[in-house]
Amino acid sequence: MPRRHVAAGALGFALLVSSSACSLSTPTDQPTNTSSSGTTTSAAPTSGTSGAAESTAAQADDRPTCTQVEGKAPRGMAGRMLAVGVTNYESAEQAVDLGVRHLFIGSQTDRSILNGQGDPARSLAALEKRAGEPLTVSVDEEGGLVQRLSEIIGELPSAQQMANTMSPEQVRDLMVKHGKKIRALGITVDFAPVVDLAGGQNVSDNAIGSRAFSADPKAAADYARAYSEGLQQAGVTPVLKHFPGHGHATGDSHMGAVTTPPLEKMQDNDLLPFRELVGVKGMSVMVGHVQVPGLGKPLPSSVNPEAYKLLREGGYGPKQDAPGFDGVIYTDDLTGMKAVTDAYPGPEAAVAALAAGADVALAAAGAVEIPDVVAAIRTAIDDGRIPEDRVRKSVDRTCISK
């Protein structure tokens, strides 16, 4: 998310990640009361034995399947296509009771709900027990300008500082230690690393700046890989952002449209770190709000079907050899930025993103009520704007499974 989200407040939605899928049974119109075992987000982080991201399993390995989708019609899964930012325990309860299974910890979240930080009866572990199955809990903990947990677990250097002062191996080791602290709080997903390139002096403020590792695509990919490996070894899922690349974009997505260079130029730089990393096991991806000339209609990528098609099918880069991506895809925040809300006010932003191809919609609620968003998604499923098979595939991807 853009840098200014550090101070963003209120309830919001965020996206969920998981490296493997669970299968759904034949649908009926009647939900079941089946629930998973009592494993909670307070479980100790899984320690890694290998430095390679391909050999790590992230948090999904030792957590039970989300069985409550069995026998449910797609409209009953609407809440699972949202990740909701919470301000306090009561707002988290509301989200869970609406079927949401992904909670986002933002700058205005009451930190006492984190495991070990307050009353255990009003914690993430208690919320997971209320849900009757595992929850995904996410945070923006990039380092530098964007970190939510520094007062609890300490400061983290920015991506730029890491690349300027540390080797990739040192970054991996740092993120193992930091990731274990994140995981101990009950958080399972980090919306990081940023793989956008440093745009240079010719690019106006686009909210990236020191959040980028490098202007060089290979260096950015190398450091992002090490950062991700560290998180994975700590049992936290990394999310690459912001596809298809925000580093050379101009404009402020809070104020209006943000435009990148044409797609043919993006193939030679901004898209390269994604090409290198989307095939690594356990990765998820966040799609940004940038408009890319040459990528379908002039729409923000977060609501542009062609952007999701490009990510899913691959085939981009100078040699057109990027692999297709079959992991979880999130949007950036959908309701707090005019780049999206000018065209898609309120719940329709989440509907447009999910219809375009996102698995989970990330939105800062503000004046938008969670029940309204869930209702809008259900209606969109009923009338076919969000196809039922798409719902099932997305829920398959986001189910936490062994």
The three-class DSSP label of residue 19 is: coil
In order, the DSSP letters of 279-302 are: TSTT-EEEE---B-TTSSSS--GG
Confidence of residue 39 (pLDDT cuts 50, 70, 90): very low
The three-class DSSP label of residue 3 is: helix
Average pLDDT (312-325) is 95
pLDDT confidence of residue 199: 79
Contacts of 195 by beta carbon, 8 Å cutoff, 6+ apart: 213, 220, 221, 224, 240, 241, 273, 274, 277
- Token reading at 291: 């408009």
Asked if the model's pLDDT at residue 257 lies above 80, the reply is yes
Q: Which amino acid is at 48?
A: G
pLDDT confidence of residue 235: 96
- Percent of the chain surpassing pLDDT 90: 65
Q: Each residue of 104-122: pLDDT tens digit?
A: 998 888 999 999 999 999 9
Question: Bigger pLDDT: 35 or 346?
Answer: 346
Asked if the model's pLDDT at residue 160 lies above 50, the reply is yes
pLDDT confidence of residue 204: 58
Average pLDDT (238-267) is 90
Q: How far apart are CA 363 and CA 373, in angstroms?
A: 10
* Cα within 13 Å of Cα(309), Cβ side: 7
Cβ distance 104 to 376 under 8 Å? no
Asked if the model's pLDDT at residue 384 lies above 50, the reply is yes
Confidence of residue 61 (pLDDT cuts 50, 70, 90): very low
Residue 193, preceding bond cis, omega within 30 degrees? yes
Confidence of residue 70 (pLDDT cuts 50, 70, 90): confident
Q: How far apart are CA 270 and CA 247, in angstroms?
A: 7
Average pLDDT (320-340) is 89
Asked if the model's pLDDT at residue 188 lies above 50, the reply is yes
Average pLDDT (153-161) is 96
Topology at the third CATH level for domain 3-398: TIM Barrel (3.20.20)
Average pLDDT (71-76) is 86
Question: Catalytic residue numbers?
Answer: 254, 332
pLDDT averaged over every residue in the chain: 82
Q: How far apart are CA 176 and CA 185, in angstroms?
A: 15
Domain boundaries, the chain: 3-398
User: Which range among 101-110, 223-232, 322-331 shows the weakest confidence by mean pLDDT?
Assistant: 101-110
Question: pTM of the entire structure?
Answer: 0.83
Instruction: Count other C-beta atoms under 10 Å from residue 85's C-beta.
Output: 30
pLDDT confidence of residue 293: 97
